[in-house]
Chains A and B, each alone.
Chain A
Amino acid sequence: MSEVLQDLVNRPYKHGFVTDIESDVAEKGLSEDTIRMISAKKDEPEWLLEFRLTSYRAWIKMEEPTWANVHYPKIDLQAISYYAAPKQKPKLESMDEVDPELLRTFEKLGVPLHERMALAGVAVDVIFDSVSVATTYKDKLAAVGIIFCSMSEAVKEHPELVQKYLGTVIPTNDNFFAALNSAVFTDGSFCFIPKGVKCPMELSTYFRINTEETGQFERTLIIAEDEATVSYLEGCTAPAFSSNQLHAAVVELVALDNADIKYSTVQNWYAGDKNGVGGVYNFVTKRGLAKGVNSRVSWTQVETGSAITWKYPSVVLLGDNSVGEFYSVAVTNHHQQADTGTKMIHLGKNTRSTIVSKGISAGRSSNSYRGLVRVGPKADNARNFSQCDSMLIGDKSGANTFPYINVRNNSAQVEHEASTSKIGEDQLFYFAQRGIDAEAAVSMIINGFCKEVFQQLPMEFAAEATQLLGLKLEGSVG
C-alpha cells in the first residue's frame, strides 16, 4: 500500500467534535418507569404511552439477534441513557433564536441551516440527540398542505395521523431493536404529503448524536397520499467518543395509490478510530410499504460511517403494479463492519423491484450484503433484478454476499448476480501513463464503480457522497 493511500485511509473523522451544550440527560437504564418518564416529559397522549409500553413488554421477551455477520461485545442496554435533549427552550419562533452554539455545530458540519439553505431550496429538520431543534420552511410547505415537523410536534398537532400510521409498517414486535425503539423513541421527523401534492422541494433531516453514553432512537414516519410525491434526504454525524454509541432508529414509509417516495441517506456516523475503538453501532430498521396501486418506494443509501452497520431498508410491495428500488453504496475501512442489504417482499400483482448494491471494503473491515427477495403466491408477474458488486482493497478485508431468494409463484422472473473484484494494477497503470496519480485514479475508479447508485441521489447529496467516499478511502490502495 502506498504512503499516499495510507494517509488517505487514515485521515481522521472531521465531524468528531463535541458541542458544549448543556443537555438534559435521563438516568441510565430502562424500565417501565423510564418510559413513563419520557412520555411524561414529552407530554404525550395516553395511546402513545400504551404503544410504548406494549413495545417494551414485547421487547423484554426478545433476545438480541446474533445472525448478522458482525461481531461486537454485548451491549449493556441498562448502561445507556434513553433521553438526552439540548437544554433549552422556550419554544423558538425563528431560526435566529436557536442556540448559537448549536448553529455553529451545524455550520461545522456543513449543514446549511440558514441562507445557504434558502439558496439550496431544501427544507431541513434538525435532530440533535434525538430531539428536533429546528425545522425550516415549514410555512412554505404548509401552504401546499404538507406537514413537515418533528415527531413530538406531530403527536401534539396531528395525533390522528400519527396514531393511524405509527407502527403499521414495522409492528412493535418486529425485531429486537425496532421494539426497543418503539418503546423509547424520543423524536424524529414526521412528514405527510396530502393527496395530489408534489412536494415542491427536497425535504431533509440531519441527525447528530452529541452526548456520550446515550442511545439515539429516532422515529421517522413519512406518508404520501394518493398521487403525492416526495423526495427525502437524511444525513447523520456524531462526535468521536471512545465508547460506543447505540443508534437504533426506525423509519416507516407509507405510499398510497400512485404515490412516490424517494428516501436517500448519507450515513457518516463516527466509525471508531483506526484501531476499532469507539464508534456508533447503527442498528436501524427501515421499511417502506407500497400500499397503493402503482405506488413506488425507493431507497438510496451511502453508508460510510458507523463501527457497525446493521440495516436492511425494505419494501413491501402490496399494491398491484407497485415498484420497489434499493440503491446502496457501503464503504468500510479499518475495523468497521457492515451487514446491510434489503428485503423486497412481492405481494401484489405485476410488482417490480430493482436492487443495486455496491460494497467496498478496505483495511480490516468486513462488508456483507444480505438481501431477501420474496415472491408470494399471489404476486403474479413479479419481476426482480438484483446486482451486488463488491470491491476489496487490501488483503485483510472481507466481502460477503448472502442473497435469499424465495419464490412461490411460477410467473415470477427473478435474477440475481454478484461479482467481486479489486482495483487492478493494470487499471492504475493505465491512469498513470495518462499522467493521473494513483490517488486520483482510485477515486475515479471507485466513483465509476458506484456511479449507478450516485446517479440516484439528489444533486447536493451526490456531490457530498462523492467527496465522502474520497475521504474515506484516501490511501487505501497501493
Chain B
Amino acid sequence: MSRVTSIRRPPAGYIETLLAEQPKLPTSPLMGVNQLRSKAVDHLATLTLPTKRDEAWRFTDISALTKLLFQPVSPVISLENIDVEHFYLEEATTRLVFVDGVYASELSIITEESGVTVVKLPSADATHAELIESHLGRHVDLEDNVFATLNTAFLHDPALITVSRNTAVIDPIHVLFIATQTGVASYPRCLVAAESGSSVTLIEDYVALHDETYLINSVTEIALADNARVNHIRVQRDSGEAFHIANCSVSVGRSSNYQSVSVALGAKTSRYNLNVLMDEGAECAVDGLALIADSQLADTHTCIDHSQPHGVSRQLHKCIVGGKAHAVFNGNIRVRQDAQSTNSKQSNGNLLLTEKAHVDTKPQLEIFADDVKCAHGSTIGQLDNEEVFYLKSRGLSDSVARNLLTYAFGAEIIDRIPIPSLKRKLEQAVLEQTSLLL
C-alpha cells in the first residue's frame, strides 16, 4: 500500500539557533569537560533533527517541537522549600534539586553519608578528574543522536554521584528536576558511578510548577562496576504541554544487577531512550509504565544489549492510553555472538481505553548466539468485559469497576518501586488519572 505522507523538514538552522547561547557557558576548570562540549558542538554540525522518515522516529512526530524556539534558561527564580516540598520524599536523605536545570543548593540536602560523593561540576577540581574523565560522556552514544549531543554541548551543571567500593547505601538519592520557566530549553544531566560491590537507589524525578510549554532534554549515565547493584526509578511528571526527550545509557558490569522502573505520566510529547549494555553474568530488570490521555504522546525505546555470556534480563512495559493519546514502544533485545547462555524475557502490554487512542509497538529480537533462551510477547486490547461484569456483580458501579481494573493493570509496575512514599504518590496519581480517563 503506498502512502504519501508529507514529511515536514525541520527548519534549517534550528540547531544553530539553539546553539547560539552555547558559547556563553562558563569554561570549566576541567579540560575534559571543555573538550566534551566542543566535540559535541563539532559533532552537531554533522547531525540533523530526526523526522518521521527516520526509522527510530517513525511514529513520533516532533515537528511541533521544531516550530518553537526555546530560549536558554534565565537566572534561577528563587524558590522556597515551601513551594516545592510536596515533591520531596521522606525516605531520601540525600536530595539534589535542579531548578530549570540549574543546581539549587538551598533546596538540596547532601548528607555526608559514608561512601556517597556528590560532585558539583562548577566546583570540581583535579581530585574528581578521574571520575569525570572515565565516565562522563563515556556511556552515552552520541552517534546519530542529536538530542544527547545537544545536551552534551550544554553540559555545565550535572549531578555527579559516585558510590565507593563495597558500600551499600540504604537511603535512596533523590534527584529532583523542577521546571518553573516557560518557553525554555533545559539540559539536565546525571551521572551515577557505582564502584564494585556497591549498591544504591537513584530516583530521577521530573516535575513542573506550571502547565506551559518547555523542553527538557536530559541525559543520564549509569555505570555499574563488577558486583554492583543500582535501583533506578525514573518518574516523569512534566507539564501537559512540555516536550521531554531523555536518553539514559547504562553499563552493567560483570555480575552486577540493574533494576529500573520508569513511569511516564506527563508531557505532551515524551521520548525515553534507554540503552543497557550487559557484561558477563549481568542481570537487569527494566520495567516501564506510560499512562497518557488527551493528545499526549509517550514513546519508549529500549535496547538491552547482551554482549557477554550468562546475562539475564527481564522487561515488562505497559501503556494505558486514553483520550486521543498515542503510545509508542520499541523494545530491542540484542544477543551478540559471544553472549551464550543468555536468558531474556520481554513483555509488553497495552490497554486502549478510548476509540481514538492508539499504539504502535515493536518488540524486537536480534540474536546471534545459539545457546540462548529468548522470548518476547506483546498484547494490545481493552478491559475484559467478563472482569468488569464480575466486579459489577459484586455491586461496583461500571465506572468504579473499570477504574479499578485499569488501576490494577498499571499497579503491577508501580508495585515494583521499592520506596513506599513514592509508591503511594504514584498510586494516587494513577488512580486520579484513571478516573479521569474513563
**Chain A residues with a Cβ under 8 A of chain B:** 67, 171, 173-174, 316, 345, 377, 390, 392-422
- Known pairs A404-B362, A410-B354 / 14 extra A-B pairs, C-beta < 8 Å: A171-B2, A395-B337, A396-B337, A403-B378, A407-B360, A409-B358, A410-B355, A414-B380, A416-B376, A417-B376, A418-B363, A418-B375, A420-B372, A420-B373
CB-CB under 8 A from A402, the residues of chain B are: 362, 364
What's the dominant secondary structure at chain A's contact region? strand
Q: How far is the CB of B301 from chain A (nearest CB, A)?
A: 14
Asked if B371 CB lies within 8 Å of chain A CBs, one says: yes
Number of interface residues of B (CB under 8 A): 37
CB-CB under 8 A from B358, the residues of chain A are: 406-409
Q: Is the CB of A401 within 8 A of B376?
A: yes
CA distance A407 to B353 in the complex (A): 12
Q: Is the CB of A392 within 8 A of B357?
A: no
Question: Which residues between 370 and 420 of chain B lie within 8 Å of chain A, taking CB atoms?
Answer: 370-382
Q: How far is the CB of B56 from chain A (nearest CB, A)?
A: 12
Q: Is the CB of B370 within 8 A of A397?
A: yes
Residue of A nearest to B383 (CB): A410
Q: Is the CB of B360 within 8 A of A399?
A: no
A-B contact pairs, 23 of them (CB 8 A): A174-B2, A392-B372, A398-B366, A398-B367, A399-B365, A399-B367, A403-B362, A404-B361, A404-B362, A405-B360, A407-B359, A408-B358, A410-B352, A410-B355, A410-B382, A412-B352, A413-B382, A415-B377, A415-B378, A417-B378, A419-B376, A421-B373, A422-B371
Asked if B14 CB lies within 8 Å of chain A CBs, one says: no
Q: How far is the CB of A69 from chain B (nearest CB, A)?
A: 9
Q: How far is the CB of B369 from chain A (nearest CB, A)?
A: 6
CB-CB under 8 A from A417, the residues of chain B are: 375-378
CA distance A171 to B366 in the complex (A): 32
Q: Is the CB of B367 within 8 A of A390?
A: yes
Residue of B nearest to A423 (CB): B370
Q: How far is the CB of A26 from chain B (nearest CB, A)?
A: 29
Name the one of B368, B373, B375 contacting A398, with C-beta atoms under 8 angstroms: B368
Q: Is the CB of B376 within 8 A of A409?
A: no
Q: Is the CB of A405 within 8 A of B373?
A: no
Residue of B nearest to A422 (CB): B370
Asked if B55 CB lies within 8 Å of chain A CBs, one says: yes
Residue of A nearest to B58 (CB): A404
Contact status of A67 and B55, CB under 8 A, knowing A410-B352, A410-B353: yes
Asked if B256 CB lies within 8 Å of chain A CBs, one says: no
CA distance A173 to B376 in the complex (A): 35
Q: Is the CB of A400 within 8 A of B367?
A: yes
Per-position binary interface string of chain B over residues 322-357, scored 1 when its CB falls under 8 Å from any chain A CB and 0 otherwise: 000000000000000100100000000010111101
Q: How far is the CB of B117 from chain A (nearest CB, A)?
A: 42
Residue of A nearest to B374 (CB): A420
CA distance A111 to B296 in the complex (A): 59
Q: Is the CB of A393 within 8 A of B357?
A: no
Q: Is the CB of A400 within 8 A of B377?
A: no
Asked if B45 CB lies within 8 Å of chain A CBs, one says: no
CB-CB under 8 A from B381, the residues of chain A are: 412-414
CB-CB under 8 A from B378, the residues of chain A are: 403, 405, 414-417
Q: Is the CB of A407 within 8 A of B363?
A: no
CB-CB under 8 A from B1, the residues of chain A are: 174, 316, 345
CB-CB under 8 A from A396, the residues of chain B are: 337
Contact status of A418 and B365, CB under 8 A, knowing A408-B358, A410-B354, A411-B382: yes
CA distance A401 to B362 in the complex (A): 9
Contact status of A395 and B352, CB under 8 A, knowing A171-B2, A407-B380, A414-B380: no
CA distance A92 to B128 in the complex (A): 88
Q: How far is the CB of B373 from chain A (nearest CB, A)?
A: 7
CB-CB under 8 A from A392, the residues of chain B are: 367, 369-370, 372
Among A67, A171, A377, A419, the most chain B Cβ lie within 10 Å of the Cβ of: A419
CB-CB under 8 A from B371, the residues of chain A are: 395, 422
Residue of A nearest to B377 (CB): A417
Residue of A nearest to B346 (CB): A418
Q: Is the CB of A419 within 8 A of B379?
A: no
CB-CB under 8 A from B340, the residues of chain A are: 395
CB-CB under 8 A from B359, the residues of chain A are: 405-407
Per-position binary interface string of chain B over residues 141-164, scored 1 when its CB falls under 8 Å from any chain A CB and 0 otherwise: 000000000000000000000000
Contact status of A416 and B364, CB under 8 A, knowing A395-B337, A397-B370: no
Q: How far is the CB of B372 from chain A (nearest CB, A)?
A: 6
CA distance A345 to B1 in the complex (A): 9
Q: How far is the CB of B108 from chain A (nearest CB, A)?
A: 43
Q: How far is the CB of B300 from chain A (nearest CB, A)?
A: 14
CA distance A171 to B2 in the complex (A): 8
CA distance A377 to B324 in the complex (A): 12
CB-CB under 8 A from B363, the residues of chain A are: 401, 403, 416, 418
Q: How far is the CB of B132 from chain A (nearest CB, A)?
A: 38
Among A403, A410, A420, the most chain B Cβ lie within 10 Å of the Cβ of: A410
CA distance A318 to B20 in the complex (A): 52
Residue of A nearest to B352 (CB): A410
Q: Is the CB of B380 within 8 A of A400?
A: no
5 A-B pairs closest in CB distance: A410-B352, A392-B370, A414-B380, A417-B377, A419-B375
Q: Is the CB of B370 within 8 A of A393?
A: yes
Residue of B nearest to A401 (CB): B365
CB-CB under 8 A from B377, the residues of chain A are: 415-418
Contact status of A400 and B382, CB under 8 A, knowing A409-B355, A410-B355, A420-B372: no
Name the one of A345, A398, A400 contacting B364, with C-beta atoms under 8 angstroms: A400
CA distance A214 to B350 in the complex (A): 48
CB-CB under 8 A from A399, the residues of chain B are: 365, 367
Q: How far is the CB of B144 from chain A (nearest CB, A)?
A: 15
Q: Is the CB of B379 within 8 A of A394?
A: no
CB-CB under 8 A from A377, the residues of chain B are: 355
Q: How far is the CB of A192 from chain B (nearest CB, A)?
A: 24
CA distance A204 to B353 in the complex (A): 47
CA distance A256 to B377 in the complex (A): 34
Q: Is the CB of A418 within 8 A of B380?
A: no
Name the one of A394, A403, A407 contacting B352, with C-beta atoms under 8 angstroms: A407
Q: How far is the CB of B314 from chain A (nearest CB, A)?
A: 15
CB-CB under 8 A from A393, the residues of chain B are: 370
CA distance A392 to B369 in the complex (A): 8
CB-CB under 8 A from A412, the residues of chain B are: 352, 380-381
Q: How far is the CB of B357 from chain A (nearest CB, A)?
A: 6
Q: Is the CB of B366 within 8 A of A420?
A: no
Q: Is the CB of A422 within 8 A of B367?
A: no
Contact status of A419 and B374, CB under 8 A, knowing A345-B1, A396-B337: yes
